[in-house]
Chains A and B, each alone.
Chain A
Amino acid sequence: MDAAQRDALPSGVVAGATSSFLDFVTHSNPALLPFGRSLPAGELPPTPHGTTIVALCYEGGVLMAGDRRATMGSMIANRHIEKVFPADRYSVLGIAGTAGIAVDIVRLFQVELEHYEKIEGTLLSLEGKANRLGAMIRANLPMALQGLSVVPLFAGVEAGTSAGRLFSYDVTGGRYEELEHHSVGSGSVFARGALKKLWRPGLAEDDAVTVAVEALVDASDDDSATGGPDLVRKVWPVVYVVNDDGAHRVSADRLAATVADIVARRTIEGREA
Chain B
Amino acid sequence: MAQQFYVSPEQIMKDRADFARKGIARGRSVVVISFLGGIALVAENPSPTLHKIGEIYDRIGFAAVGKYNEFESLRQAGVRYADVRGYSYDRADVSARGLASVYAQSLGTVFTAEQKPFEVELAVAEVGASQNADHIFRLTFDGSIADESGYLAMGGRAELVQQKLADSWAPGADLAQTLAWAVAALQAPRLEAANGSGQAELLGAGSLEVAILERDAHEVRGTHRAFRRLDTAAVEQILTTNGRG
Contact = CB atoms under 8 A, between A and B. Distances in A.
Per DSSP, chain B at the interface is helix
Given A32-B87, A89-B223, A118-B83, 18 more contacts: A1-B88, A6-B88, A7-B102, A9-B105, A9-B106, A13-B80, A14-B74, A16-B77, A16-B80, A24-B80, A29-B84, A32-B84, A32-B88, A108-B87, A111-B83, A114-B225, A115-B79, A118-B54
Nearest to A122: B49
A38 B88 CA distance: 20
CB-CB nearest 3 A-B residue pairs: A14-B77, A118-B79, A13-B77
Contacts of A115: 79-80, 83
Q: Chain A CB within 10 Å — which of B55, B80, B86 has the most?
A: B80
A108 B84 CA distance: 10
A8 interface: yes
A119 B84 CA distance: 14
B82 to A, nearest CB: 9
A266 B102 CA distance: 61
Interface of A: 1, 6-9, 13-16, 21, 24-25, 28-29, 32, 89, 107-108, 111, 114-115, 118-119, 121
Q: Chain B CB within 10 Å — which of A6, A8, A14, A16 has the most?
A: A14
20 contacts: A6-B84, A7-B98, A8-B105, A8-B106, A9-B77, A9-B106, A14-B74, A14-B77, A15-B73, A16-B73, A21-B83, A24-B80, A25-B87, A29-B88, A32-B84, A32-B88, A89-B223, A114-B225, A115-B79, A121-B49
B220 to A, nearest CB: 14
A119 B106 contact: no
Interface in B221-245: 223, 225
